[in-house]
Amino acid sequence: MINKQISAVVKANTAAMVEFRRDLHRHPELPWEEVRTTDRIAEELDKIGITYRRTEPTGIIAEIKGGKPGKTILLRADIDALPVMELTENIDYKSTIPGKMHACGHDSHTAMLLTAAKALYAIKDQLTGNVRLVFQPAEEVAEGAKSMIKQGVLEGVDNVFGMHIWSQTPVNKVSCNAGPSFASADLLTIKFRGQGGHGSMPHDTVDAVMIASAFVMNVQSIVSREIDPLEPAVVTIGRMEVGTRFNVIAENAVLEGTVRCFNVDIRKKIEAAIRRYADEVAAMYRGTAEVIYHYGTLPVINENRSALLAQSVIKEAFGDDFLYTERPTTGGEDFSYYMENIPGAFALVGSGNAAKDTQRAHHHGCFNIDEDGMPTGAELYAQYAWAYLNQSDF
């Protein structure tokens, strides 16, 4: 199942991989702005000799044609950064752009997939099938995968595989569980309308503060009383804008929040309950409600056979002690769109190391990775593709 030449190529290119990641880290680009990043990826693919096409407005789809006909496996890396001020000290590859930072590890994903591309290109004549390499923009706003799909990235694809560097998982550990991995991530906005007036005459008003407060206090009952306790779900109201002055009773309130779960039926149930709660709480206080519910990413559900294949690759390539069981996260990941109708798996590659201060939460201004985990990720990309294309009964 394991190709030793892949291991050798990854090892020989590890230093270059780390330097490429650091170059991207110095020059972070936000979603849909990844022009330099796309150019740098294209330069590296040109050096290797891999054919590719650019997608609009940023991103790249590349293809390695195997020496023998067979299936097509898609490998994906995301390339965008975040609007986060980097607070990390004592590194010479700190972001050079104030307020922008690779605070989630996408720089490492890109570098790892390029290194995997070098390894797979070196054995292309041995491949039974093709490898599609996807360098995807705009994951952080959950728009990139859908855009790539519209531009034909899934045409002819039989299996998909992706990964995320993971600071909560120890370095030199990899998790790829069958079943739920990431939750769906939906956005909601609720607009309550009352009737404003003077704070000294509440009887002449309909107080939007009361409506919004009652909703926030009651909405958690959806999870605690309407959802099966064995089904994880989160309803969070993260922002509330209401009121203008200490002695003015507010007429309007705007709430924003998010819903996370692993089951699409429960997702629909929560949405319906939120709409009901908003309408009925508003009516109780003589106001009105408008709910704007936006479906974000789907849940990432690892297909059983693909996850088991990844686990076998992890153990054979790196040793049994590398295989780790990480709990599902209620974070969102737009890789889910690739998996909606195509089997595949999504792995978490450990980079947490307290000795190097790389155990910080993703999206934190001091987020960093233990780069010792990068060769594992690069080789896992390539070895999974090799193993999948050589599974005649898959």
pLDDT digits over 68-78, tens only? 999 999 999 99
- When divided into structural domains, the chain yields a total of 2
Mean pLDDT across the stretch 286-308?
Answer: 97
Res 89: pLDDT: 87
Q: Of all residues in the chain, what percent carry a pLDDT higher than 70?
A: 100
Task: For residue 25, say whether it is annotated as part of any ligand binding site.
Answer: no
Let me know whether 175 and 307 are in one domain: yes
Catalytic (active site) residue 56? no
Residue written as token pair 């230093």: 15
pLDDT digits (tens, 9 = 90+) for 376-390: 999 999 999 999 999
Let me know whether 167 and 71 are in one domain: yes
Let me know whether 73 and 175 are in one domain: yes
Enter the pTM of the model: 0.92
Q: What is the CATH number of the domain that holds 217?
A: 3.30.70.360
Structure confidence at residue 1 as a pLDDT band (50, 70, 90): confident
Res 393: pLDDT: 72
pLDDT digits (tens, 9 = 90+) for 310-325: 999 999 999 999 999 9
Q: Is the pLDDT of residue 12 over 90?
A: yes
Let me know whether 291 and 305 are in one domain: no
pLDDT digits (tens, 9 = 90+) for 340-373: 999 999 999 999 999 999 999 999 999 999 999 9
Whether 53 and 133 have beta carbons less than 8 Å apart is answered as: no
336 domain-assigned: yes
Residue written as token pair 């519910």: 293
Among 280, 297, 314, residue at a domain's last position? 297
Task: For residue 164, say whether it is annotated as part of any ligand binding site.
Answer: yes
Structure confidence at residue 391 as a pLDDT band (50, 70, 90): confident
Mean pLDDT across the stretch 164-180?
Answer: 97
Task: For residue 155, say whether it is annotated as part of any ligand binding site.
Answer: no
Let me know whether 293 and 304 are in one domain: no
Catalytic site residue from 78, 86, 107, 139: 139
Locate the DSSP E strands across the chain. Answer: 51-54, 60-65, 68-78, 128-136, 159-170, 174-175, 179-182, 184-193, 197-198, 233-242, 248-249, 252-261, 288-297, 300-302, 344-352
93 domain-assigned: yes
Q: Which residues on neighbouring strands pair with residue 248, listed in sequence order?
A: 198
Catalytic (active site) residue 139? yes
Let me know whether 17 and 58 are in one domain: yes
Q: Which two tokens stand for residue 366?
A: 């001091």
Let me know whether 170 and 205 are in one domain: no
Let me know whether 205 and 171 are in one domain: no
Residues contacting residue 314 through CB under 8 Å, at least 6 positions apart: 174, 176, 322, 323, 347, 380
pLDDT digits (tens, 9 = 90+) for 98-112: 999 999 999 999 999
Q: Report the mean per-residue pLDDT for the chain.
A: 97
Among 297, 330, 353, residue at a domain's last position? 297
Catalytic site residue from 29, 34, 78, 80: 80
Task: For residue 34, say whether it is annotated as part of any ligand binding site.
Answer: no
pLDDT digits (tens, 9 = 90+) for 131-160: 999 999 999 999 999 999 999 999 999 999
Q: Is the pLDDT of residue 3 over 80?
A: yes
Let me know whether 293 and 306 are in one domain: no
Let me know whether 199 and 51 are in one domain: no
Q: Which two tokens stand for residue 388?
A: 């999948």
134 domain-assigned: yes
Q: Is the pLDDT of residue 19 over 80?
A: yes
Mean pLDDT across the stretch 184-199?
Answer: 97
Q: Which domain holds residue 57?
A: 4-182+299-389
394 domain-assigned: no
Task: For residue 106, say whether it is annotated as part of any ligand binding site.
Answer: yes
Let me know whether 259 and 308 are in one domain: no
Q: What is the CATH number of the domain that holds 42?
A: 3.40.630.10
Let me know whether 309 and 320 are in one domain: yes
Tell me which DSSP letter residue 82 carries: B
Among 297, 319, 346, residue at a domain's last position? 297
Amino acid identity, position 358:
T
